[in-house]
Structure formats: C-alpha cells, structure tokens
Amino acid sequence: MLHVPGEPSALLRLLAPWLPHADGGWDPGPTFGGRLRREPHLLSRLDLGVPRSLLAYLHRLSGLSGWWGLPWSIRHPALVITGDDDPIVPAGNSRILAACLPDARLHVVRGGGHLLLFDSPAEVAPMIGAFLRESREAGRLAA
C-alpha cells in the first residue's frame, strides 16, 4: 500500500532504543513530535524508552511494519485524526487512509504529534466525542 515514510531518525529511535542519543538521554520530542518537543514531561508517567521485554519490543516493531488491514474493507463511518508534526507516521498517511475509506472524516491537529492523546487532549477529545455522538444519533453505533 502506498504510504509516506516517517523520519529516519525517529524510526531509528524506535527500532534501536538502546543506542545512545546525541544529548545523552532519551527525549520523546524528536521521536513523537508535537507538543512533546517542548513539553516532554507530558509523558512522564509512561516508560517509552527501551522496551522491558522481547515481546514488548516485537509489538513495537509490528507497528512499524505497515498497514494492518485493507482500508477499503472498513464499511462503517471512521474518524481519522492525525497531527501535522508526527515524525513516525506523517499526516500524508492519514490523508491517504481517509481517501480510501468510503465514509471517513479527517482531522489534522495543528502542532500535534504521534501521541495526540497525550500532547493534544483538549483538541482531540471533543472531536472524538462529537463523532461518537453524531454516529449514535444517526443510528450507526450501538448505545
């Protein structure tokens, strides 16, 4: 499937998190983008550096392997949300995905990164809530 590749340096940090970084520590900003570039403390409760087990590392790698399904197999309304500062999965991929889905709504969060729920919750939560309410009202979601 056609896709826009992520930034090589961000992908390398995910593939080989044990390699030393230029600044001596692990900074989530260059890896995940968005507000985390300026406010890395937003992830202070999460340990996203070196995976704790081989299985966790393999799960991380599986996410980098590409599309997990055929977008045209999705027949329900879909909400596609992306950040315009995502070094791992550039926003162009979400545009491609939304274009392939028969009933998709695309939102690009200005300044949002890969972990939108952590770096832009005030922008993302209302979008998700509105989408779910509208879908329920239209009878497309079970109550």
Encoding tokens for residue 127? 């979008």
Q: Find the largest Cα–Cα distance for the chain.
A: 53
The SS3 assignment for 92 reads helix
Q: Highest mean pLDDT range out of 31-35, 53-57, 61-65?
A: 31-35
Start-to-end CA span in the chain (Å): 34
pLDDT for position 67: 59
pLDDT for position 5: 85
CATH topology for the 1-143 domain: Rossmann fold (3.40.50)
| pLDDT tens-digit readout, 82-136 | 999 999 999 999 998 898 888 899 999 999 999 998 889 999 999 999 999 998 8
Q: For the full predicted model, state whether its pTM sits above 0.85.
A: no
pLDDT for position 101: 87
